[in-house]
């Protein structure tokens, strides 16, 4: 499997895979607390998951840039 072998090149990177189920569950629960119909829940969950991934990506970039300056 290409993605898993790609992750094997970076030590500790397989821990990132634990974030994916957490993002899905948090997004679904958050969407379900705001809406009652499945289409609305799924739409809100998708928007929340994209927001979380974007925020995590921004934090990753800040940490990456901070590590390069040392």
pLDDT in tens, 19-42: 999 999 999 999 999 999 999 999
Q: How many other CB atoms sit within 10 Å of the CB of residue 4?
A: 9
* Residue 5 pLDDT class (50, 70, 90 cuts): low
Residue 3 in domain:
no
The pTM for the full model equals 0.77
Which residue blocks in the chain are alpha helix, DSSP H?
Answer: 2-7, 19-34, 38-68
Comparing 17 with 44, the larger pLDDT belongs to 44
**Would you state the pLDDT for residue 23?**
95
Residue 62 in domain:
yes
Number of domains in the chain: 1
Which domain, by its residues, includes 48? 14-68
- Distance (Å, whole) CA 21 – CA 14: 13
> What residues contact residue 23 under an 8 Å CB cut-off, 6+ apart?
49, 52, 53
Residue whose C-alpha is closest to residue 27's, from 44, 40, 13, 14: 44
**Would you state the pLDDT for residue 32?**
96
């Amino acid at each position: 499997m290409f993605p898993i072998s790609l992750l094997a090149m970076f030590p500790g990177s397989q821990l990132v895979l634990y974030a994916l189920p957490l993002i899905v569950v948090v997004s679904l629960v958050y969407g379900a607390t705001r809406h009652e119909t499945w289409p609305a829940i799924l739409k809100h969950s998708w928007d929340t998951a994209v927001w979380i991934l974007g925020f995590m990506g921004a934090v990753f970039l800040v940490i990456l840039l901070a590590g390069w300056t040392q």
